[in-house]
């Protein structure tokens, strides 16, 4: 059981113009795996993930593609209520914005469980206690309000809500960005503990986090997936010049080599490879030909003309 995004094309209507933001984006999420979606801000990670939940701005328009889940294309579904929060849940960057400060954690958990699982009070309470136990929150903290929880506990309470609703897919959008380093480690450990029952999409720009925690990685640039591979293969044989640039930009004891220039906005039309204005390995053909995904090994793909 998992989820597959297939050749998703999406753009935004702006003052009578259509600006494309996602180009043939494809990736799949598998139960038992953490799949990291990596790239600089504005590369299309979050909008790809929000397309899965169909939580898109009014100006967004999907022009083609499929999002397959439980044998159905989510883009064709009339109503997402029974999917959103219940089968596919979002773990946001800042948990405080997702918890209601006026209600206790117990109230909020029970509301989710009753709505999505249709259980009565006693059974719902039992599910809530098990969900809190799974995220290492003692049951006696159930009656606390969100402001009485630390940042890490709030994030764990959100994860408990997703688990108690029975979510099969978790979309974790930079889930540790707002937390300090020790708490980050706790949340990632927790995602590992629960991944055997779920498929997890981890959106991040932090390659160190990916190396330590993900099973599979897809790198996005300018609205395209430019490289995808199992995480070990990715770090051993990083193929795309953009992925190599991201790795060289990691702080280390030796040199720090940032990628020159800025990622493209959706208003810029770039012919050929969208990375060519910033690529140190560009060839004459790169500004004319748009690279397709080349297969480098069983599960390793790269959109770069160097592998043509
Ligand atoms: Fe660089 Fe050309 Fe490969 Fe694009 S296709 S990443 S410009 S070498």
Residues 207-242: pLDDT tens digits?
A: 988 999 999 999 999 999 999 999 999 999 999 999
CA of 277 to the centre of ligand 1 (A): 9
pLDDT of residue 23: 96
pLDDT of residue 52: 96
- Integer Cα distance of 180 and 252 in angstroms: 20
pLDDT of residue 161: 87
What is the residue with the minimal CA distance to atom 7 of ligand 1? 276
Q: Could you say which residues of the chain have pLDDT below 70?
A: 1, 178, 252-255
What is the residue with the minimal CA distance to atom 3 of ligand 1? 304
Express the helix, strand and coil content of the chain in percent, nearest 5 each.
35, 25, 40
pLDDT of residue 253: 54
- How far apart, in Å, do the first and last CA atoms of the chain sit? 34
* Domains of the chain, CATH where assigned: 3-87+167-307 (3.40.50.300)
- Integer Cα distance of 205 and 38 in angstroms: 5
Atom index in ligand 1 nearest the CA of residue 242 equals 6
Q: Strand pairing partners for 167?
A: none
- Integer Cα distance of 261 and 241 in angstroms: 14
pLDDT of residue 254: 63
- Locate 39 and state its tokens: 């790239």
Ligand 1 contacts CB of residue 259 (under 6 A)? no
Ligand 1 pocket test, candidate residues 276, 278, 301, most atoms within 8 A of CB: 276
Ligand 1 contacts CB of residue 293 (under 6 A)? no
What is the residue with the minimal CA distance to atom 8 of ligand 1? 282
Burial class (CB in 10 A: 0-12, 13-18, 19+), 265: exposed
Q: What stretches of 70-208 adopt beta strand conformation (E)? A: 72-73, 88-91, 169-173, 199-204
Side-chain half-sphere of 151: how many Cα atoms within 13 Å? 16
Token pair 């503990």 is at which residue?
193
Ligand 1 contacts CB of residue 161 (under 6 A)? no
């Amino acid at each position: 059981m998992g989820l597959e995004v297939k050749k998703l094309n999406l753009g935004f209507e702006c003052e009578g113009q259509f600006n494309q933001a996602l180009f043939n984006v494809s990736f799949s999420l598998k139960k038992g795996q953490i799949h990291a979606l990596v790239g600089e801000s504005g590369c299309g990670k979050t909008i790809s993930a929000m397309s899965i939940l169909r939580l898109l701005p009014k100006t967004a328009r999907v022009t083609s593609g499929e999002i397959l889940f439980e044998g159905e294309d989510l883009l064709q579904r009339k109503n997402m209520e029974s999917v959103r929060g219940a089968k596919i849940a979002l773990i946001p960057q800042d948990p405080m914005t997702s918890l209601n400060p006026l209600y206790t954690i117990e109230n909020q958990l029970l509301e989710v469980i009753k709505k999505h699982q249709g259980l009565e009070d006693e059974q719902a309470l039992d599910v809530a206690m098990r969900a809190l136990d799974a995220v290492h929150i003692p049951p006696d903290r159930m009656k606390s309000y969100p402001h009485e929880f630390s940042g890490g506990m709030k994030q764990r309470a959100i994860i408990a809500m997703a688990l108690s609703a029975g979510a099969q897919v978790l979309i974790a959008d930079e889930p540790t960005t707002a937390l300090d380093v020790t708490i980050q480690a706790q949340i990632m450990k927790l995602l590992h503990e629960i991944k055997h029952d779920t498929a997890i999409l981890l959106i991040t720009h932090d390659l160190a986090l990916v190396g330590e925690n993900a099973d599979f990685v897809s790198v996005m640039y300018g609205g395209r997936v430019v490289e995808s591979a199992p995480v070990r293969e990715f770090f051993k044989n990083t193929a795309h010049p953009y992925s190599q640039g991201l790795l060289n930009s990691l702080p280390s004891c030796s040199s720090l080599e940032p990628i020159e220039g800025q990622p493209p906005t959706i208003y810029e039309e770039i012919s050929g490879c969208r990375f060519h204005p910033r690529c140190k390995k560009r060839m004459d053909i790169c500004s004319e030909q748009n690279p397709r995904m080349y297969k480098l090994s069983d599960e390793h793909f790269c959109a770069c003309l160097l592998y043509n």
